[in-house]
Amino acid sequence: MESLIKRFKKAILNFRHGRVLFITSSVFALVYHLAFLITFKLLGVTQMYYFNFISVAVYIFISLRSFKMKNVIPYYFLCFAEVVVHQILADYYLGGDAEFHYFILLVGLLPALSFGKRIKLASVLVTVSVILFLVIEANAAFIFPIYFIEFKKIVVIRIVNIGCVAFVISASLLMYAYIVLHVEDNLEEQVKQKTKKIVKLQDHTIDSLANLVENRDIDTGDHIKRTSAYVNLLALKAYENMVYPKVIDWKFVELITRVAPLHDIGKIVVPDSILKKPGKLTDEEYNTMKMHTTEGVRIIKEIFSMTEDNEYVKMAMDVAGYHHEFWDGRGYPNGLKGDQIPVSARIMAIADVFDALVSVRCYKKAIPVEDAFKILKEEERIHFDPILTEIFLQNKDAVIKILNKEMSL
């Protein structure tokens, strides 16, 4: 969780929240002018009273028009022009020490945070504002009021001025607090919801692809369901035992469980005459069958080319492309060995072979579960990662439970 200060900085520097400054300044302008409308009326400063009366009317009209048009630029120019005129009149009637000069600088900085991609326009306005502020501020000491106003009245005006400034600062902080603590949190929630929809869409795509495989080979369809369950079990136990901690974390467990159904997606391109052949495959047929690994990578890359979840796509390709690699380097398609094989593919290999051993296939009968476990043990350091194999064998009861559950469905 980011600190409150960092979140405030993000909100203030975020162009999307620039309009909040204008909302704040609009409220401030109205409160400010109304306050001085009453103040000047009570003090008898008629010239400033009428100026504020006109300002209130113009502000209300322009503000409503600007926000109706969803264009804050006209409102900004009104705000800037009014502040400059107000400054000139304040100096003219109240003297150069009226302490309103900094409003020019404040309003001049608004476009820097509010004009979005209009960088050039914002830069020009900021520059003009700063120069104007410096010129007026430098000459403020030499300006004297043309009409005499009692010092007591000047004090009252300054107190009202300070009160209005305090109000706008408080209002601004409250509005930004609302943004930081509510709007930003809602935005994060929207991002989470969008991510969930993307994940749901990806999972639906996986299920659809897996169903394509299942429609061609019923055994393969059941195989997909069981291997996914075995993969989840093995990955979870590896995570709990801190095996390969730099690779296997909670996100890894989630991802490999989701991509596991895609490991045999490349079999879509394998002809039925080979995929469903009851006997032993010839060398040529076997080479064609082996193509399902590289074809699986190609299919996944094409289907998910537009997704931004690179980790998801990478793991899906690793599982599809390397789940037939051997620990000793005699596997296919690339002859990888040991740590060269992605951890996800090593997990998939154990789940894939175990299920193939205990399942009926068109070319073989199922073997007893205990015999399958013995074969996995014998193939440690030959076919399978020895550490992951041991974890799988240590959880025989859970594996058998998955097998019985899926077989009974």
- Catalytic residue ranges: 267
* Closest-CA residue to 356 (of 366, 348, 346): 366
Q: Which of 12, 10, 182 is nearest to 114 (CA)?
A: 12
Q: Which residues pair with 380 in a beta bridge?
A: 384
282 DSSP assignment: P
Amino acid, res. 75:
Y
* CA dist., res. 49 & res. 36, Å (int): 7
Q: Exposure pattern of 140-165 as b/e (b: 16+ CB <10 Å)?
A: beebebeeebeeebbeebeebbeebb
Kindly tell me the burial class for residue 6, based on how many C-beta atoms sit within 10 Å of its own C-beta (0-12, 13-18, 19 or more): exposed
Strand partners, 361: 364
Any idea what DSSP says for residue 331? -
- Rg (the chain; Cα; Å): 36
The tokens for 95 are 């003297």
Cα four-point dihedral sign 406, 321, 375, 220: positive
Closest listed residue to residue 296, CA positions, set 273, 325, 280, 316: 316
Q: Which residue has the tokens 């204008």?
A: 22
| Contact of 322 with 364, CB cutoff 8 Å | no
Chain centre to alpha carbon of residue 354: 39
Is-contact 251 264, C-beta < 8 A? no
> Which DSSP helix (H) or strand (E) runs through 34?
helix 18-43
What tokens does 248 get? 């296997």
Nearest alpha-carbon partner for 313 in 383, 250, 265, 270? 265
Q: Which residues contact 312 (CB under 8 A, 6 or more apart)?
A: 202, 255, 258, 259, 304
